[in-house]
């Protein structure tokens, strides 16, 4: 009698326990060999041309204007590593807010090994993330990098001062944004890496980049502080700044950590 019914719940249990497994639980890691990977730390050192950038310190620009900086933040997004063998690694949900007084490093864990020919990324936030409602993490609309009255991200935020500023308080305030049309302010950057940018399995590497704040103010467009000391919306002036900051980041070094 007992044994006749014992198998029924047992059978049910076995059936049910298998029925509701989620997809990600099905993956068995033992049988598939893990591809070789390395960890890459991308570090941004902030400079004013050849000098290290410190808050409140004065820096001279070509043409004898000078400035000091209090706030300097910008988005780096859509990072891609292009390997010399033609493979491309794209970081998933790749949005990073870099702050010269705060977080200046992006860590890419478990990227494929090999020789990186170039790194590609965007300064700013792509238009898709500007039109999709509230985001989280570095894209949170509460980080002072989001316009609430005219939806969109501030791609690069610079606040400082200059004796040449036309502002009565000698301030410089540049909130550069706008994600569509002729005046869009996001810019794609390619940086070629030398042949030593080769990564081996299970090792940590650091890619050092320089962000030159002075390049906001010269290059494609010369910024005259006496007339151009304030911008807080998407316009031609903002895209002029973008043409300049497109060239503000350059290669410094690549090394194993």
Partner 1 sequence: MILRVVFIPIILVFFFLSCKVDPKVKPHFDENELKEIIPTGWPEPVYRFQNNPINKATFELGRALFYDPILSVDSTVSCESCHQQFVAFAHSDHALSHGVANQLTTRNSPALFNLNWHPLFMHDGGVNHIEVQPLAPINNPIEMGENTVHVIKKLRRSARYKKMFEDAFGKGAEINDAQMLKALAQFMALMYSYNSKYDRVKRGEAEFHQDELEGYQIFQQKCNQCHKEPLFSDFQFRNNGLSVNPAINDSGRAHITGLPSDRYKFKTPSLRNITLTAPYMHDGRFNTLDQCLQHYVSGITNTVNLAPELQGGIPLTPSEIQKLKAFLATLTDYTLLTDKKFSNPYAN
Q: What is the size of the binding site for partner 1 (CB under 8 A)? A: 32
**Please, what sign has the CA dihedral across residues 218, 220, 224, 230?**
negative
For 130, the token pair is 């500007």
Binding to partner 1 in span 20-39, by CB under 8 A: 20
Using rule CB under 8 A, residue 50 touches partner 1: no
Between 16 and 26, CB nearer to partner 1: 16
Using rule CB under 8 A, residue 13 touches partner 1: yes
77 φ, ψ (degrees, to nearest 5): -140, 170
Between 160 and 178, CB nearer to partner 1: 178
Using rule CB under 8 A, residue 103 touches partner 1: no
**Helix ranges restricted to H, the chain:** 2-19, 23-26, 127-130, 236-245
Binding to partner 1 in span 126-145, by CB under 8 A: 130-136, 140-142
Between 37 and 183, CB nearer to partner 1: 183
| Minimum gap (Å) between residue 147 Cβ and partner 1 | 8
Alpha carbon 12 to its chain's center: 51
| Minimum gap (Å) between residue 136 Cβ and partner 1 | 5
Using rule CB under 8 A, residue 235 touches partner 1: yes
Q: Which long-range contacts (CB under 8 A, 24 or more apart) does 202-205 make?
A: 202/36, 202/37, 202/38, 203/38, 203/39, 203/256, 203/257, 204/38, 204/39, 204/40, 204/41, 204/256, 204/257, 205/38, 205/39, 205/40, 205/41, 205/254, 205/255, 205/256, 205/257
| Minimum gap (Å) between residue 141 Cβ and partner 1 | 6
Between 39 and 135, CB nearer to partner 1: 135
Report the interface residues with partner 1, using CB under 8 A.
1-2, 5-6, 8-9, 12-13, 16-17, 19-20, 130-136, 140-142, 146, 148-152, 183, 233-235
């Amino acid at each position: 009698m007992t044994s006749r019914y014992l198998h029924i719940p047992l059978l049910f249990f076995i059936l049910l326990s298998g029925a509701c497994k989620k997809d990600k639980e099905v993956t068995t890691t033992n049988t598939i060999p893990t591809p070789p990977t390395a960890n890459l730390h991308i570090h941004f050192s902030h400079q004013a041309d050849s000098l290290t950038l410190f808050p409140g310190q004065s820096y001279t620009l070509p043409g004898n204007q000078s400035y000091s900086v209090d706030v300097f933040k910008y988005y780096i997004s859509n990072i891609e590593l292009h390997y010399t063998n033609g493979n491309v690694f794209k970081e998933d949900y790749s949005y990073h807010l870099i702050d010269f007084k705060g977080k200046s490093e992006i860590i890419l864990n478990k990227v494929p090994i090999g020789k990186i020919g170039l790194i590609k990324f965007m300064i700013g936030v792509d238009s898709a993330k500007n039109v999709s409602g509230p985001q989280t993490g570095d894209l949170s609309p509460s980080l002072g990098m989001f316009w609430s009255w005219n939806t969109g991200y501030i791609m690069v935020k610079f606040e400082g001062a200059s004796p040449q500023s036309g502002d009565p308080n000698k301030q410089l305030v540049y909130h550069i944004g706008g994600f569509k049309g002729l005046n869009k302010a996001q810019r794609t950057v390619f940086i070629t890496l030398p042949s030593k940018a080769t990564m081996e399995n299970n090792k940590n590497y650091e890619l050092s980049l320089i962000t030159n704040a002075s390049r906001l103010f010269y290059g494609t467009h010369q910024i005259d502080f006496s007339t151009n000391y304030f911008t807080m919306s998407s316009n031609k002036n903002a895209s002029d700044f973008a043409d300049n900051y497109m060239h503000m980041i350059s290669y410094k070094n690549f090394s194993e950590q």
